[in-house]
Chain A
Amino acid sequence: MSNIKQNASEEAEFAKPLYTPIKRRSFFMYAGATAGATALLLSGCDDDDNEIVTPNGTVNLGSGDVGVLNYAYALEQLEAAFYAQVKATPAADFSTLEKDYFNQVAAHEAIHRDFFKAAITRDAPGQIIPGLTPIFTSVDFTKRASVLATAKTFEDLGVAAYNGAGKYLKTPAYLVIAGQIVSVEARHAAYVRDLISPGSFADDSIIDANGLDKAMEPVEVVTAAQSFIKEKLDASRVGK
């Protein structure tokens, strides 16, 4: 059977990931949706997309599933850049354990960013947004309190963003990935909140009377995050 090849040339590009050896742990991925399947699904929904970066410098996150993935990628870029700076210039009043934990958080966010970059590039060629330019002038990285306050903003916002965007995904495999990431963001949020005020991991400022975390629409989230990003983001068609 190993010599049989079907339509290899036509499909070589998007099917590439499928050719890599499958480990037992990962092959269940195929049961949800294959990488190839999502590639086609994604490429089908952007025919009338505008260009990704408009002449005035606005970054259009796009529509459909790829819009949601670009949206997540934009937020992960912001978080990753923030924690990279935290790691590079740790606040003087961080404890050794806090420094160690924030180095781990920095790795998680860098992984999320790099993962989205790889997945979007693979599954929706030519539709990924460029690298964004963070603006952290409002953050005093030398002060623990300033770093924690900003981290809390980003993590709570990230959780609300994923919670609000899940319903816009059409591909189950991507929904699961988003779910796998959002709970890690919620763990970060709880950790940072407890550092600011012990026991505030899920207080009434963030969890409502129904016991629900926040869920925010993409446009709301981008408005909240915009002051930290140089490029103007357009999330108006995310998931549409």
Chain B
Amino acid sequence: MNILRIIEQLSEVDADVLGRFDSRRAVFKSLGNTAKMGALAAAPVFVSSLFSKAYGQTTTPSVVEVLNYALTLELLEEDFYKKMTAAGRVPAGVAAGAIATILKHETAHVKLLSDTIRALNGTPVTNVKFKTSAFPADYPTQLVVAQALEDTGVRAYKGQAGNLLGKMAGTTSLLQVALQIHSVEARHAAHIRGMRMQPAWIPASDSNLPAPLGPVYTGTIREDNVIQSNVNITSQLGTPYSANDAAASFDEILTMAEVLDASRAGGLVQG
């Protein structure tokens, strides 16, 4: 593995790459040791942890922290749909039925996550409310916010999957539970998008929308990303695919910090 080449390439896009590691000397010393041991098999693992340290979150959140983060988003969604229902602008019929279905699921997620956190001897967050001043009076804008919340939720759960890898509550895989919520959020997002005459999936152009929707589709990895696992989907799969299809065929993660930023869900929480 030519790690020097990797670091060199990183330095082309990130001038600070070496500053991110403990020290230049430490990197090369570790490399030397690895090579001496002839432990080639260990090298990629070493490289992975090296870059995790340099670019990853400084500390891995605990399981309860991850679940409370998810609970915060669910409480925010639940309160938003309660406000939306109370505002009385949702047309009767399929639309009102859909909002009721979504609210029912968010309430169920709140209960499930709270119960799970308690079972893990944690304290579930409470009293997270949707910011009253940010609640739109008109139905079309309410749907815009609903889309923002749902698509943010999808990205937020996806961003925590790695932190739940192998985590259990008794015999229950917390990762699986999170995935089972995650796909429900995606179904919600798809339906809300349909109510707004948008495709159920996220076209590349959404990453360039004005606020409040635009920031939902940006971040370190934007939703118009076409490179997955170092493979350029548009040009490296044998068959060429459009940038729009490449972007829409994979949803992207948001980190905790990105979700909680004031430009996204963080800005919708009552202070």
On whether the two chains bind one another, the answer is yes
Residue count of chain A within 8 Å CB distance of chain B: 85
Interface string of A30-63 (1 = CB under 8 A from B): 1111111101100000000000000000000000
* Residue on A nearest B5 in the bound complex, by CB: A19
Q: A28-B221, A40-B41, A176-B158 known; A211 and B13 CB under 8 Å?
A: no
Chain B 21-55 interface residues, beta-carbon cutoff 8 Å to A: 31, 35, 40-41, 43-45, 47-48, 51-52, 54-55
With an 8 A cutoff between CB atoms, is B228 at the interface?
A: yes
Q: How many Cβ-Cβ contacts under 8 Å join chain A to chain B?
A: 281
With an 8 A cutoff between CB atoms, is B162 at the interface?
A: yes
Of the residues B14, B98, B107, B237, contact of A24 by C-beta under 8 Å? B14
Q: A108-B248, A111-B233, A172-B165 known; A22 and B9 CB under 8 Å?
A: yes
Interface string of B163-196 (1 = CB under 8 A from A): 0011000000101110111111111111100100
> Which stretch in B65-73, B137-145, B238-246 binds the other chain?
B238-246
Q: Which 6 A-B pairs have the closest CB atoms?
A: A211-B108, A190-B190, A186-B186, A37-B44, A107-B245, A183-B186
Q: Within the assembled complex, what's the spacing in Å between the Cα atoms of A167 and B165?
A: 7
23 A–B contacts from the bound complex (CB under 8 Å): A2-B5, A28-B55, A28-B221, A29-B230, A31-B54, A101-B199, A108-B249, A166-B179, A170-B165, A172-B165, A175-B161, A175-B175, A179-B157, A180-B252, A184-B248, A186-B187, A189-B187, A190-B191, A190-B194, A202-B188, A211-B108, A213-B180, A215-B180
Q: Within the assembled complex, what's the spacing in Å between the Cα atoms of A93 and B29?
A: 67
The reply to whether A30 and B6 contact each other, CB–CB distance below 8 Å, is yes
Of the residues A28, A115, A194, contact of B191 by C-beta under 8 Å? A194
Q: Within the assembled complex, what's the spacing in Å between the Cα atoms of A73 and B176?
A: 20
Q: Within the assembled complex, what's the spacing in Å between the Cα atoms of A201 and B99?
A: 12
Q: A26-B230, A31-B51 known; A163 and B180 CB under 8 Å?
A: yes
* Residue on A nearest B190 in the bound complex, by CB: A190
With an 8 A cutoff between CB atoms, is B253 at the interface?
A: yes
With an 8 A cutoff between CB atoms, is A8 at the interface?
A: yes
The reply to whether A118 and B158 contact each other, CB–CB distance below 8 Å, is no
Chain A residues, CB < 8 A from B253:
176, 179-180
With an 8 A cutoff between CB atoms, is B134 at the interface?
A: no
Q: Within the assembled complex, what's the spacing in Å between the Cα atoms of A45 and B55?
A: 28
The reply to whether B229 and A162 contact each other, CB–CB distance below 8 Å, is no
Chain A residues, CB < 8 A from B245:
104, 107-108, 111
Q: Within the assembled complex, what's the spacing in Å between the Cα atoms of A63 and B124?
A: 38
With an 8 A cutoff between CB atoms, is A188 at the interface?
A: yes
Between B14, B107, B176, the greatest number of chain A beta carbons within 10 A of the residue's beta carbon is seen for B176
Q: A107-B241, A119-B229, A162-B179 known; A190 and B200 CB under 8 Å?
A: yes
Residue count of chain B within 8 Å CB distance of chain A: 92
Chain B residues, CB < 8 A from A108:
201, 245, 248-249
Q: Within the assembled complex, what's the spacing in Å between the Cα atoms of A111 and B232?
A: 11
Chain A residues, CB < 8 A from B158:
176, 179-180, 183
Q: Within the assembled complex, what's the spacing in Å between the Cα atoms of A22 and B7?
A: 10
The reply to whether B48 and A30 contact each other, CB–CB distance below 8 Å, is yes
